[in-house]
Amino acid sequence: GEEVKRIESAGADWVHLDVMDGIFVPNITIGPVVISSVRKLTKMPFDVHLMIQRPMKYVKMFADAGSDMLTIHVDADGDVKETLKAIRDCGVRPGITLNPGIPVEKLDPYLDMVDLVLIMTVDAGFGGQSFKDVGLSKIARVKEYAESHNPKLEISVDGGINRDTGKRCVDAGATVLAAGSSLFGAADMKKEIA
């Protein structure tokens, strides 16, 4: 709760919450109960990144917990289109996520169903990794699609984001930067966000 308040007072626009199930990625983090608890502390949008094997099973729980956006991985188990539809049916904005090793073309069947595309520039599941340049061309390709089909599509980037890599991502077409270590490790988070 204190960290959510800190993020808000430092001037962040959204709170990006990483949910890990210990199966899709090796680590385990928070679940709907924690999201519900911190939801009471802020009106900032909650961008909830589901790094979980079977997202369909948990869509309603995370929606009810106060998520504004739910992003699932393109390679998670289950019917991706049905899961994205279920997210929207819960009144939450759906998103699709792509890890660095997956070709960007895997997003194509879902781009018209989502409000957000999350390009991972590190392998999902571990903080503090170094930025991988392979994400820049993927951002640019999604940006091309957005310009001709969906100008409101948010293009988010997560992994190794700092002042330098963030600028490179925005130059490639990103509209949202999800930064972790560079903000939480900064002496002055507000200055870093600015």
Active site residues per annotation: 18, 158
Q: How far apart are CA 179 and CA 166, in angstroms?
A: 9
Query: Cα 146 to chain center, whole Å?
Result: 17
Residue corresponding to tokens 């990625």: 25
Q: How far apart are CA 106 and CA 98, in angstroms?
A: 8
In terms of Cα–Cα distance, which of 2, 9, 5, 45 is closest to 190?
Answer: 9
How many other C-beta atoms lie within 10 A of the C-beta of residue 120? 27
Q: How far apart are CA 62 and CA 40, in angstroms?
A: 14
- Where does the chain have alpha helices with state H? 2-9, 32-39, 59-64, 80-89, 134-149, 163-172, 181-184, 189-193
Q: How far apart are CA 4 and CA 9, in angstroms?
A: 9
